[in-house]
Amino acid sequence: MLKAFADLSTPLVADACVRIGVPLRAAPPGIGAVVPGHRIAGRALPARHYGSVDVFLEACGQAGEGEVLVIDNGGRSDESCVGDLTVLEAESAGVAGLVIWGLHRDTPELAEIGLPVFSYGSYPLGPVRVDEREPEALTTARFGPHLVSGDDIVLGDDDGVLFVAAHRAEEVLATACQIWQTERDQARLIRTGETLRRQTSFDDYLARRSADPTYTFRQHLRRVGGAIEE
């Protein structure tokens, strides 16, 4: 999955989802890589945190090679829930990365380990609570307004994190590749002096919109084969 995602980005995947009608599920703004430039792509391995790392150890015991540990800590800002030992354990289990709806700690150690970790940021305090565990602790994870399960693929880069239904992932990535190629061609032409307005027949768009106010630029782009928004 990471190989298929290698030349793409989360913005391209988001545009592809919109183009083919796949539900668009993004992690809340602010979720980012501990080490800039890190990327993740793999099937979701959900875990809900209740104040103890035991749920992470249990999840690692069930991990498949290349899965991404998706941690639901309710977006809390009063505690970190993942540190270096948890990340090392995940790495030893073959996990491809971690995405945390919450905070991490041990930032220098995480950077040294090198396994991609995405979170809201760092915070030195760990949890001082142990809450009652829900039955769904290892089957689904809440992440902002979304519910993530093992039926989802996780994609992340410097622009953020997306969750895509696994059965649509191949279609989404193929469409994202098409958009990528179109945008690269457009960028190359802009550099040679052919403006985006000319490439997209923008004057024609303005004339059509004047005659029909319901005519949108997205409709126009699809008619002329351009790409910049979906």
Which amino acids are annotated as binding site, given as ranges? 105-106
Which amino acids are annotated as binding site for substrate, given as ranges? 105
Which amino acids are annotated as binding site for Mg(2+), given as ranges? 106
What is the β-pairing status of strands 25-26 and 160-165? antiparallel
Q: Is 92 exposed, middle or buried (0-12, 13-18, 19+ CB in 10 A)?
A: exposed
Extended strands (E) in 78-138: 80-82, 97-101, 103-104, 117-119
* Token pair belonging to 131: 């809450």
Phi, psi angles (nearest 5°) of residue 141: -135, 130
* Token pair belonging to 112: 């040294």
In Å, how far are 2, 165, 210 from 181, measured between CA atoms? 19, 24, 31
